[in-house]
C-alpha cells in the first residue's frame, strides 16, 4: 500500500504554521496553530481532526512542501473519525465505483479526460477542441478519486488511483488533457505525495485552452464584460495554475474585478461542506461568496469545475449573475455560443 510522504521535521521547524493559521474555518494564534499541527503530525488527538471542513486550502497555504490536508485525512481515517455520516461516505464510494461502463473514443497519443462528469464531454467540442474531442475518455474508470479526501477515505484513493492511471496506460497515451481541474491536481499533487507514478504527461485544460485561444485570436471578439470567478477546492492543489484564469480572461476581453473571496482567500462552492458540516455553514459560505460576487457589479459567474457549476448556478442566477463555464465563455468569444446562454 502506498504511504504519504510527509516530513515531520519540516513541520517541527516551521516558522509560520500557515496551514492552520490561515484556515478559514478554525481560529488559532500562531503558537496554537503550530501545536495543533504537531499533534496531527505525531498522530495525537487534535481539534483539527474533528473541526476541519475539508476545504483543501491548507495544501495551498503550506509553502514548505508538506501535505497538511492529506495528513489530516490520513489521521482521521486511522482513528476512524468520519467527516460525514457513514451512509453519505459509503454512497460516494459506491456511486464512483468502476463498473466497466467507460466511454473511450479514438485515442492515439493523446486522450481528452472528462473524468466522470458528462458535462465535460459536451463542453470539449467545437473549434477549440476539434483535434482532441474524438479522443474522449469518460467514466468511473477514468475518474480522479480525490473526492474521497472529503470523507477521509484515503484508502479508497490509494486503491483506485493506480487503477485509473493504469486504465490510461492501457490506452497507450503519452498525454492526458484533463478537463476536470481535480484530475490534474490528482496526477500532479496527490500521486507524487504518495509515490504513485504517472507514466503519461497530464496537461491542464487551461494550458491547452490558452494556446488554442491564441491560435484562434483572429476569431476572438472581445466580450467586454465583467465576471466573478468561482475557484474550486481542487484548485488549491495546483495554485501555480491560478494565474491562467486571468490570462485567459484578458485574452477574450473580460474584466475580473477584485473581490474579498478570491485567490488564496476564495470560498469553495460549499456543497461538500453541506455533507460534512451541515447546512448552516454551507448556506453561510454560499451567501457570503455570492454577495461578494454581486457587489463587484459582475454580470457573469465563471466556473472552472462542473460540480461547482451545478451547485451554484441556480443560486447565482437568483442573484442576477449568469452562470457560465470558462470553456463556454471562450466559445462565446469566438462566436460559437451566444452571449448570456
Ligand atoms: S504543514 Fe506546512 S505550513 Fe503547516 S506546519 Fe507543516 S510545514 Fe508549516
Ligand atoms: S482543509 Fe480547510 S478546513 Fe481543513 S484544516 Fe485545511 S484549511 Fe482548514
pLDDT tens per residue, the chain (341 residues)? 799 999 999 999 999 999 999 999 999 999 999 999 999 999 999 999 999 999 999 999 999 999 999 999 999 999 999 999 999 999 999 999 998 888 889 999 999 999 999 999 999 999 999 999 999 999 999 999 999 999 999 999 999 999 999 999 999 999 999 999 999 999 999 999 999 999 999 999 999 999 999 999 999 999 999 999 999 999 999 999 999 999 999 999 999 999 999 999 999 999 999 988 889 999 999 999 999 999 999 999 999 999 999 999 999 999 999 999 999 999 999 999 988 65
The DSSP code for 217 is G
CA–CA dist 205, 97 (Å, integer): 25
CA–CA dist 245, 268 (Å, integer): 16
Sign for the pseudo-dihedral over CA of 204, 191, 81, 15? negative
DSSP tally for the chain: helices H, then strands E: 17, 9
Q: Helix 243-251 crosses helix 326-333 at what angle (to 10 degrees)?
A: 20
Instruction: Provide the phi-psi class of 54: left if phi over 0, else alpha when psi is between -120 and 50, else beta.
Output: left
Ligand nearest to the CA of 66: 1
Atom of ligand 2 nearest to the CA of 25: 3
Residue 225 Cα, ligand 1 centroid: separation in angstroms? Answer: 40
What backbone phi and psi angles, to 5 degrees, belong to 227? Answer: -130, 160
The percentage of residues in the chain with a pLDDT greater than 90, rounded to a whole number, is 96
Q: Do the domains spanning 96-209 and 219-333 agree at the CATH topology level?
A: yes
Residue with CA at minimum distance from ligand 2 atom 5: 52
Ligand nearest to the CA of 48: 2
Q: Where does ligand 2 bind, in terms of residues with CB under 6 Å?
A: 23, 25-26, 48, 52-58, 69, 72
CA–CA dist 200, 174 (Å, integer): 5
Residue 212 Cα, ligand 2 centroid: separation in angstroms? Answer: 35
Tell me if the pTM is above 0.85. yes
**Paired strand residues for 204:** 178
Tens digits of residue pLDDT in 3-40: 999 999 999 999 999 999 999 999 999 999 999 999 99
Residue 239 Cα, ligand 2 centroid: separation in angstroms? Answer: 16
Residues 2, 195: contact at Cβ < 8 Å? yes
Residue 10 Cα, ligand 2 centroid: separation in angstroms? Answer: 19
All structural domains of the chain with their residue ranges: 8-79, 96-209, 219-333
Q: Which three cell numbers stand for residue 114?
A: 472528462
Sign for the pseudo-dihedral over CA of 27, 31, 36, 37? positive
Atom of ligand 1 nearest to the CA of 71: 1
Tens digits of residue pLDDT in 256-287: 999 999 999 999 999 999 988 889 999 999 99
Residue 7 Cα, ligand 2 centroid: separation in angstroms? Answer: 19
Query: CATH for 219-333, among 3.40.50.1010, 3.40.50.1860, 3.20.10.10, 1.10.10.10?
Result: 3.40.50.1860
Residue 19 Cα, ligand 1 centroid: separation in angstroms? Answer: 6
For 78, residues 6+ apart whose C-beta sits below 8 A from its C-beta are: 43
Q: Which of 24, 39, 52 to mutate to test the pocket of ligand 2 (most atoms within 8 A of CB)?
A: 52
Ligand nearest to the CA of 32: 1
Ligand nearest to the CA of 10: 1
Atom of ligand 2 nearest to the CA of 22: 7
Query: CATH for 96-209, among 3.40.50, 3.10.50, 2.30.30, 3.30.70?
Result: 3.40.50
Residue with CA at minimum distance from ligand 1 atom 2: 62
Q: Which of 16, 30, 36, 42 to mutate to test the pocket of ligand 1 (most atoms within 8 A of CB)?
A: 16
Q: Which three cell numbers stand for residue 147?
A: 473526492
Q: Which three cell numbers stand for residue 309?
A: 457549476
Q: Where does ligand 1 bind, in terms of residues with CB under 6 Å?
A: 10-11, 14, 16-19, 37, 62, 64, 66, 68
Amino acid at each position: 500500500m502506498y504511504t504519504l510522504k510527509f516530513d515531520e521535521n519540516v513541520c517541527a521547524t516551521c516558522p509560520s504554521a500557515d496551514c492552520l493559521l490561515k484556515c478559514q474555518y478554525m481560529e488559532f494564534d500562531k503558537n496554537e496553530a503550530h501545536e495543533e499541527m504537531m499533534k496531527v503530525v505525531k498522530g495525537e488527538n487534535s481539534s483539527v481532526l474533528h473541526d476541519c471542513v475539508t476545504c483543501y486550502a491548507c495544501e495551498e497555504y503550506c509553502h514548505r512542501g508538506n501535505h497538511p490536508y492529506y495528513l489530516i485525512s490520513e489521521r482521521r481515517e486511522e482513528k476512524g473519525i468520519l467527516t460525514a455520516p457513514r451512509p453519505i461516505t459509503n454512497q460516494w464510494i459506491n456511486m464512483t465505483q468502476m463498473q466497466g461502463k467507460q466511454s473511450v473514443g479514438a485515442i492515439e497519443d493523446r486522450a481528452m479526460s472528462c473524468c466522470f462528469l458528462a458535462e465535460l464531454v459536451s463542453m470539449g467540442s467545437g473549434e477549440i477542441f476539434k483535434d482532441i474531442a474524438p479522443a474522449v475518455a469518460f467514466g468511473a474508470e477514468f475518474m480522479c478519486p480525490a473526492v474521497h479526501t472529503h470523507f477521509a477515505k484515503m484508502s479508497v484513493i490509494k486503491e483506485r488511483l493506480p487503477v485509473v492511471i493504469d486504465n490510461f496506460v492501457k490506452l497507450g497515451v503519452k498525454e492526458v488533457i484533463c478537463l476536470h481541474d481535480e484530475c490534474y491536481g490528482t496526477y500532479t499533487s496527490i500521486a507524487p505525495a504518495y509515490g504513485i507514478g504517472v507514466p503519461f504527461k497530464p496537461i491542464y485544460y487551461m494550458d491547452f485552452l490558452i494556446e488554442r485561444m491564441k491560435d484562434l485570436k483572429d476569431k476572438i471578439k472581445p466580450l467586454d464584460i465583467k465576471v466573478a470567478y468561482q475557484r474550486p477546492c481542487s484548485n488549491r492543489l495546483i495554485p501555480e495554475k491560478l494565474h491562467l484564469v486571468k490570462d485567459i480572461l484578458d485574452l477574450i476581453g473580460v474584466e475580473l474585478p477584485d473581490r474579498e473571496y478570491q485567490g488564496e482567500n476564495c470560498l469553495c462552492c460549499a456543497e461538500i461542506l453541506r455533507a460534512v458540516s451541515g447546512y448552516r455553514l454551507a448556506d453561510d459560505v454560499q451567501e457570503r461568496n455570492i454577495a461578494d460576487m454581486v457587489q463587484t457589479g459582475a454580470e457573469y459567474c465563471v466556473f472552472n469545475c462542473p460540480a461547482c457549476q451545478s451547485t451554484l448556478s441556480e443560486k447565482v442566477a437568483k442573484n442576477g449573475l449568469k452562470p457560465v463555464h470558462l470553456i463556454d465563455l471562450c466559445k462565446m468569444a469566438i462566436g460559437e455560443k451566444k452571449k448570456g446562454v
